[in-house]
Amino acid sequence: MISIFRSAAEKSLSVQQLIDGQEMLVLVLVLVVVLQFEGTRGKIHLYHREGENVVLPCNSPSSYYLCSIINWLYNRDMSPHRTEVKNGKVDQSSSRASRLNLDNSCSLMINNITADDAGLYGCIPGSGFTIDGVFLNVLTISDADPTKEDFTLQCSLWRYGGLTSCPQKSFRWFDETGSELTSKNDDRSSRQRCFSSLTVKHQSDTNRRFTCQFVEGNEVKVEVQYTHHVIRQVHLYHRAGDEAVLPCNRPSSSDSCSSVDWIYQSNKNMNRKQEVHRGMVQSSPRSARMSLDRKCSLIINNITAEDVGRYSCGYNTDVYLNMMIISPSPTDADPAKEDFTLLCSLVRDGEFGSCPDKSFLWLDETGSELTGEDDEYKSGGQIGCVSYLTVNLQSSRRFTCQFVEGNKVKIEAHYGSEGPPASSPLSFIMLTLKITGLILMVGITVGIIRTRGRKKPQKDVNVHFAVDGDSVNYENDGERSAAAALY
């Protein structure tokens, strides 16, 4: 360590641009004298996890030294040192100045440490003949891709590049039960870090927690944990034009959607798009069809093929939207004039783009499965996620296509000139409405006829008077008042 700072000081003397004025030159000269007499107080090794706050001691009691004369130097790998604190003030030109500070004892505080903070730090108290060397070691653990069948965790101890290599078996791995994992790890060492890798078999049914320890002389210096969260996959199946509600699986304790972001990806090879940011739907060609409900679920109205894909709002849940389409081929075929072929397609995310064989079933209006061939139809089989059925001239027929997965019908679509099959609830409702309407029409007609039958015309009454040879006739014509006629 002494030679390290001696080298740094000598380079500071030879490279004038690294010397900031006369005070810095005096400081470096003092440092050279200090290092020549090896007046160091000792080496301090600190071990911390990435993200923690650390305090590097200066061992300079405030009653003896004023922090205004304290300087902190930093060296990563025997390269020229950097001055992080000069005369008690943090150098604002440093890329990490916002995370550095001095406490009342002139110790250097670093907030939210990263692997780049690892290295050797030196505290020089003004013109004193002592120097404190602090080695900061930072332990990190890599993230893993939870979608892969197997994934590898990597535990790294980042440190000063001038130290010797880490001894063998410096790392230990444990699972969530505390059992040591000894047969699956691989330890290695490079100039600025020692690291160990652990390959884990993916398990989709439960969360896993792994602990990495760095050990020195059978003493655990630092440890870090990684929790492998199982990503819950939700598959939704809808028909074109439906309204789809994509659940967010957000904790019930959350009161607002202001922290919710919805990310969309049409397939794994396409870029991800942010459809919702902090609870607000972002501008896009389909933003008018999107909204959030009170549970922060994403609602998409009148879905089309462009809505199919993978959605995520975080909270360890991915929602896959699948859509079924049934149509004649060609689309302008006239079922009343010619035979035609029905196409039943399941549009889905590219990651799940393939469909197992025999995933589609065709049914007629009686619920009978249509397989093979007869006088009225011919099954065209399945290619990928598309199934074909050729139908003879049967304009009044109705057909149902079902997508089946694991012996369970995920979704079905109907085609027919008279609507859905008679066995469906909608058909029952329509039939009931037709019968009700017919009964009302008959009842109204009968009522009108009866009402008119009760209005009988009055009998014609003619009254004849003869007075002194003249006669007067009174006639009743039913609608008009009696009129007198003189003869």
pLDDT (tens digit, 9 = 90+) per residue, 130-150? 566 899 999 999 876 655 667
318: number of CA atoms within 13 Å, CB side?
A: 18
Cα–Cα distance for residue pair 272/282, rounded to 1 Å: 14
According to the model, what pLDDT value does residue 263 have?
94
Per the model's pLDDT, the better-predicted residue between 282 and 255 turns out to be 282
Q: Which residues contact 192 (CB under 8 A, 6 or more apart)?
A: 76, 77, 118, 158, 159, 160, 161
DSSP 485: E
According to the model, what pLDDT value does residue 208 have?
83
* Cα distance from N-terminal residue to C-terminal residue, the chain: 152
**What would the two tokens of residue 410 be?**
């995920």
Assess whether pLDDT exceeds 80 at residue 442.
no
CATH C-level class of 145-228: mainly beta
Cβ pair 329, 341 in contact under 8 A: yes
**What would the two tokens of residue 354 be?**
């393939």
With residue 37 as reference, give the H or E element that holds it: none
Asked if residue 330 has a cis previous peptide bond (ω within 30° of 0), the answer is yes
Instruction: Find the range with the poorest average confidence among 215-219, 279-283, 453-457.
Output: 453-457
**What would the two tokens of residue 382 be?**
């399945």
**What would the two tokens of residue 7 be?**
């080298």
Mean pLDDT of the chain: 78
Beta bridge partners of 212: 173, 224
124 pLDDT band, cuts 50/70/90, is confident
> Check: CATH 2.60.40.10 for 234-323?
yes
According to the model, what pLDDT value does residue 53 have?
96
448 pLDDT band, cuts 50/70/90, is confident
**What would the two tokens of residue 285 be?**
């060609």
Cβ pair 263, 309 in contact under 8 A: no
pTM exceeding 0.85: no
Cα–Cα distance for residue pair 46/199, rounded to 1 Å: 29
Amino acid at 102: L
Asked if domains 2-138 and 324-416 share a fold, the reply is yes
Q: What is the mean pLDDT of residues 59-77?
A: 77
Amino acid at 207: N
Per the model's pLDDT, the better-predicted residue between 209 and 18 turns out to be 209
Task: Encode pLDDT of 216-257 as tens digits.
Answer: 988 999 999 998 777 788 999 999 999 999 999 887 766 688
Q: 324-416 maps to which CATH number?
A: 2.60.40.10
Q: Which residues contact 130 (CB under 8 A, 6 or more apart)?
A: 34, 39, 40, 41
**What would the two tokens of residue 227 be?**
């929790």
The fold for domain 2-138 equals Immunoglobulin-like (2.60.40)
With residue 102 as reference, give the H or E element that holds it: strand 100-102
Cα–Cα distance for residue pair 236/403, rounded to 1 Å: 12
Helices (H) and strands (E) in the chain, counts: 3, 33
User: Domain ranges in the chain?
Assistant: 2-138, 145-228, 234-323, 324-416
3-state secondary structure of 58: coil
